[in-house]
Structure 1
Amino acid sequence: MGTFSRLTDIINANINSLLDKAENPEKMIRLIIQEMEETLVEVRTSAAKQIAEKKTLTRQLRAQTDKAAQWQEKAELAINKGRDDLARQALLAKQQCQPVITDIEAQLLQVEELLESIQTDSNRLQEKLNEAKQRQEACVKRQQTAEVRLKVRETVKFEQIDDAILRFEKFQQKVDGLEAQVEAYDLTEAKTLESQFQALEAEESIEQELQAMKKNVVNA
């Protein structure tokens, strides 16, 4: 059994509501689209038949109208020739065409109204079909996204990533320690060098003072 039973059901259908209630929305949207496309084909087939019928009726109407016009011309010709008897027969034949013309015109009106109705329904059905295809496209994208996320989770071991990050942090801490040792060594070396120069300066000061004392002793 199809999702819809009549064209009106499709046109008035709330696709979102149908999908929300469906156990398998993806399958449901496929069925909806399939039934809509099949119904649209039927509608177009019906429209084609009605268009063909309209052409046939139009052709018949033209033939009857031409026939009535011909009888009118014959009646006028008979009157001009003084043949009132023939004119009467021609007018009678013309009158007999009128019911046929009236009937064809009524049929044409019905066909045109039906074609207009089919056109309206076809447009609304196409809109519903477009809506359903948009929902299907959205479902496909959601499914693809979910599949990608699932594949990522299946292939990527987040525990391994966390472990790698932890090991990198430990390595970074080790490098920081080595750099700190180098900086400490540089700092210590710098102080030692400075103290050596201070010692040299102190020795020079003492030597100058010693020489000055020797001069004083000699001079005394």
Structure 2
Amino acid sequence: MGLFSRMETVLKSKMNKMLNKMEDPRETLDYSYEKQLELLQNVKRGVAEVTTSKKRLQLQRAKLVQSMDKLERQAKEAIAANREDLARLALERKAALTQQVDGIDSEIAELEKQEEKLIASEKRLSTKVEIFRTRKESIKAQYSAADAQVKINESVTGISEEMADVGLALERAENKTEEMKARADAIDELMETGTLEDLTGSRDEIDRELSKISTQTNVESDLTRLKAEAGKGQEKTGEEGKGAEERKEV
């Protein structure tokens, strides 16, 4: 029994949890409001039925009263015609109708009491239904707002997580780009120094060495030329000084 009791408790808790997820409070409130409206309509129908019954009895009573009045006139006419027997018969029928009218009056009074109770119940229930409707709409509005806020927060949370992933991806892309730029710069430097041969170019190692020799030869030629020009300048300066001294002696 202990095991089955535990299993029953677990199953009930699972079902309750599942129902909580499936249940929409707004639908529950609307359903409760509809049931209250049905109850209110039943009370109104009860009031209408009691009122109809009372009206029917009142019409029946009115007909009996008319018959009683007629019997009263007949009894008077019989007395006037010295027909006491007919007067007695009319009065007996009138007495029977009077008993019926008294019974109908009792039924009408009872129906009036029921009608008053039903009308009071209808008013109280109508007030409660209206209060419930107002509260229902307020709760539904609050629930809808809270539900929308939850969805917005969940969306923002999802966007934040996505943006975090995007940020990491951008950081990885930037790091990789910097790494590729560094590698490209290193390869350019190695190619410039000749350490790494540019297989895509048209110049081989011999061409590069010949280019270096040509460059050095051009440098030496320019250096010799500059020295020669500098020497000629000194010779011209010496000859001009000698001529000036000779002019002074003359």
TM, length-normalised to structure 2:
0.51
Query: What is the CA–CA distance in structure 2 between the aligned matches of 1:95 and 1:27, rounded to whole Å?
Result: 63
Query: What is the CA–CA distance in structure 2 between the aligned matches of 1:64 and 1:42, rounded to whole Å?
Result: 33
The answer to whether residue 137 in structure 2 is matched with residue 143 in structure 1 is no
Alignment of 1:84-103 (within 5 A): 84-103=84-103
Query: What is the CA–CA distance in structure 2 between the aligned matches of 1:159 and 1:108, rounded to whole Å?
Result: 76
**Which residue of structure 1 lines up, in the alignment, with residue 43 of structure 2?**
43
Unpaired stretches in structure 2, ≥5 consecutive residues:
1-19, 162-250
**Which residue of structure 2 lines up, in the alignment, with residue 68 of structure 1?**
68
Shift of 1:148: 3.0
Instruction: Return closer, same or farther for 1:29/1:126 CA change in 2, 3 Å cut-off.
Output: same
Alignment of 1:154-165 (within 5 A): 154-156=154-156
Alignment of 1:16-27 (within 5 A): 26=26
RMSD over aligned Cα atoms: 2.3
Shift of 1:159: 6.2
Query: What is the CA–CA distance in structure 2 between the aligned matches of 1:40 and 1:159, rounded to whole Å?
Result: 52
Question: How many residues of Structure 1 are paired with residues of Structure 2 in the alignment?
Answer: 139
**Which residue of structure 1 lines up, in the alignment, with residue 5 of structure 2?**
none
Alignment of 1:1-220 (within 5 A): 26=26, 28-156=28-156
| Counterpart AA for 1:44 | K
Instruction: Return closer, same or farther for 1:156/1:28 CA change in 2, 3 Å cut-off.
Output: closer
| Counterpart AA for 1:63 | K
Identity %: 23
Question: In structure 2, the residue corresponding to 1:82 is in which secondary structure?
Answer: coil
| Structure of higher RCO (CA pairs closer than 8 Å, 6+ residues apart) | 1
Query: What is the CA–CA distance in structure 1 between the aligned matches of 2:31 and 2:160, rounded to whole Å?
Result: 43
Unpaired stretches in structure 1, ≥5 consecutive residues:
1-22, 161-220
**Which residue of structure 2 lines up, in the alignment, with residue 18 of structure 1?**
none
Shift of 1:144: 2.0
Q: Which is greater in Rg? A: 2
TM, length-normalised to structure 1:
0.57
| Counterpart AA for 1:105 | D
CA deviations over 1:147-168 (Å, ceiling 9, x no partner): 33234324447969xxxxxxxx
Query: What is the CA–CA distance in structure 2 between the aligned matches of 1:47 and 1:119, rounded to whole Å?
Result: 7
